[in-house]
Structure 1
Amino acid sequence: MKTLNAPSMIQSEIKNIPMIHLTDVHNDDTNPYFYVGRLEELPNEFQEFDSSHRHSYYALFYFTEGTGTHSIDFQSHTIEKNSLFFLRPGQVHSWTFSKPVKGFALKIYPDYLSEHGGQVTSFQNYPFFQPGNENSKLAIQDAEQLKNDFERLLGEKNTKPNSSLTYLLIQLVLQQSLKEFNTSFTDKITIDSKLWDFFKLLETNFKDQKTTSYYAKEMGISSGSFNQLCQKVYGKSAKAIIQERLVLEIKRLLLHSDLNINQIALTLGFSDNSYFSKFFKAHTNISPENFRLSKRKLP
């Protein structure tokens, strides 16, 4: 069995925001590519995990009971009965529970689907996992069906698992989630393989490579075609998407790390501290210092 490293989408961990890998929290040699379990059986440190962190894997959290708050990249969501949450690798999240929760967690290593089922079954086909999706929470309509799908997967995992059957049962959970997602949201974004490749490159290189031409060259297309593709799908230029990714990371580090402004600038490839501050303010209308102060004053 090959050794699992951090996924290609996240080559290095940003300072001071913990990155959690599957092997850190679930040491199961029989299923190294995924984990499925009950939320009520989470270790105590994860039952009240109000310290912001990242995952190196895709995750679904389905709450069948309980209440609380789930924060995902500066968006606060209410945890309630029959709510389903989606997380991509690298997103910063935390949660607190006001009433005990029950439900299911499914965590999947980024290469699992393509390695077991080919490109046709990659995460690219699930809009709730695609970059640009802002619908991180879903109110489940057919709660019994999704619960049964999770129970079947959990039952298979707890016996002597058959890898082919396990793969199909994971797909069943994802497909039922997709059915619910498509019913609830009509403004979903669907991206092609070129843009999927772009976002993978961006996650790996955004700290050091900030030009449209770099990504266009890596994808083997012209800068003009690259911009047209971004405009068609997102209504904005490739440059704007690259800069938005940088701004998001700056916000994450300002709020969730104790690095000073100069350290954050250097971490993200800005050699000029003054330019870094101007860049952030141009995109947010607030200085890095004031953003940090305003967010940390909130209860």
Structure 2
Amino acid sequence: MPEQDPAHPSAHLGPTEHIRTYPFDPAESLSGVGMRVGPMGAGGPWEGVAAPSRRAHRIDFHVLLFFRAGPVRHMIDFTEYEAGAGDILWIRPGQVHGFSATDEYVGTSLTMQPGFLPRAIVEATGMYRYDRPPLLHPDEAQQAAIQASLEQLQREYLDTSTLPLSLHTSVLRHTLTAFMLRVAHVSAQAAADALEPQADTTFTRFRAAVEKQFTTNHSVSAYADELGYSRRTLVRAVRAATGLTPKAFIDRRVVLEAKRLLAHTDLPVGRIGAAVGVPDSANFSKYFQQHAGVTPAGFRAEQV
């Protein structure tokens, strides 16, 4: 298990209280490479491998599920998505998700470790674009191209004998890059269809900073100073990318984390407030109700 970032809320919780995080284990990949591709099993998404719990949990790696049958209902951060044949579900690191207890997962799963692909490819494919919809509906031509590319990737993944490990890994990275560019094209189209504009570099840097610091830093001015932008520049960039003010963007991230902890842990409300940077219990309850429209206790009761 990799070390947790001390700024991450789950780093401050007891071993039985926080939302369980499943790391990517290269030892479970063929040849120990930083990716895995194969059929979904009846008992979980990875046949022949210990599958993550069907209870809600975090992952610290990318998961892409390619469905050959459906419908399948899958929860990601309090939204239930229904995937059908030909659809793709893209779950990004840090997201809380849960497998359906009744639906059968039929298709192919792809998992990859952060850092397996070069940074330029990560940026080009929007691998950390949390603003993009996780459920993708490629058209017939896109499905055929993606399926052919996925089959090629799986062949390269399984071929561990014709090349030395270093070359095998390089071939996998190149093949995975080509494949992810196809998926990213569908993802970008879905975002455009939802009228979600492309984020510029200013917003990308702001979003990354918020993801690292939202449990301790809720100040727009502090983020602007740290990133070297004027407050006005930051406001313009965030509003263009999301339609939100920077403060609303921060608040949305804080409330999402609070919802995760309320729904998936037994922590007292006061400790959850402290974990997301609002240590006073009364202030946290007021803050949560203002942004979620319900008290923390009321939200938790709704999840039962």
TM range (shorter): 0.7 to 0.9
Question: For 2:124 and 2:97, how far apart are their aligned partners in 1?
Answer: 23
Q: Offset at 1:44?
A: 7.4
Query: Which of 10, 13, 30 is the equivalent residue of 1:13?
Result: 10
Q: What corresponds to 1:59 in structure 2?
A: 63
Cα deviation for residue 98 of structure 1 reads 4.0
| Cα 1:200–1:95 shift into 2, 3 Å | same
- Structure 1 pair 171/120, CA: closer, same or farther in 2 (3 Å)? same
Greater CA drift, 83-92 or 195-204: 195-204
Letter in 1 for 2:170: S
Q: How does 1:206-285 map to 2 (within 5 A)?
A: 206-285=214-293
Give the drift of 1:60: 1.1
Aligned partner letter, 1:213: S
Q: Give the C-alpha shift of residue 66 in structure 1.
A: 4.6
- Once the two structures are TM-superposed, the CA of residue 77 in structure 1 deviates from its matched residue by 1.3
| Deviation (angstroms), 1:45 | 5.8
Partner of 2:208: 200
Percentage of identical aligned residues: 22
1:175 is aligned to 2:173 = no
Q: Aligned to 1:189, which of 180, 187, 197?
A: 197
CA distance in 2, matches of 1:26, 1:188: 38
Structure number with higher strand proportion = 1
Quickly say closer, same or farther: Cα 1:294–1:223, change in 2 above 3 A: same
User: Does the 8 Å contact 1:67/1:98 carry over to 2?
Assistant: no
User: In 2, are the aligned partners of 1:70 and 1:95 still within 8 Å (CA)?
Assistant: yes
Distance 2:234 2:253 in 1: 17
Aligned residue for 1:75? 79
Q: Distance in 2 between matches of 1:292 and 1:261?
A: 10
| Secondary structure of the structure 1 residue equivalent to 2:89 | strand
One-letter amino acid matched to 1:153: L
Give the distance between the partners of 1:169 and 1:230, measured in 2 at CA: 34
In the aligned structure 2, how far is the partner of 1:140 from the partner of 1:205? 35
Distance 1:9 1:281 in 2: 27
How much has 1:84 moved relative to structure 2?
Answer: 0.4
Measured in 2, the distance between the counterparts of 1:99 and 1:5 equals 32
How has the CA–CA distance of structure 1 residues 171 and 10 changed in structure 2, closer, same or farther, with 3 Å as cutoff?
Answer: farther
Q: Which amino acid aligns with 2:150?
A: F
RMSD: 2.7
Q: Is the 8 A contact 2:77 2:260 kept in 1?
A: yes
Distance 1:10 1:111 in 2: 21
Q: Which residues in structure 2 correspond to 1:133-144 (within 5 Å)? A: 133=132, 135-141=133-139, 142=141, 143-144=143-144
Gaps of 5+ in 2: none
**Count of residues in correspondence between the two structures:** 285
Secondary structure at 2:94's aligned position in 1? coil
1:141-186 per-residue CA deviation (whole Å, 9 max, x = no partner) reads 2333222211211111111362232112111221221233345552
Unaligned runs of 5+ residues in structure 1 are: none
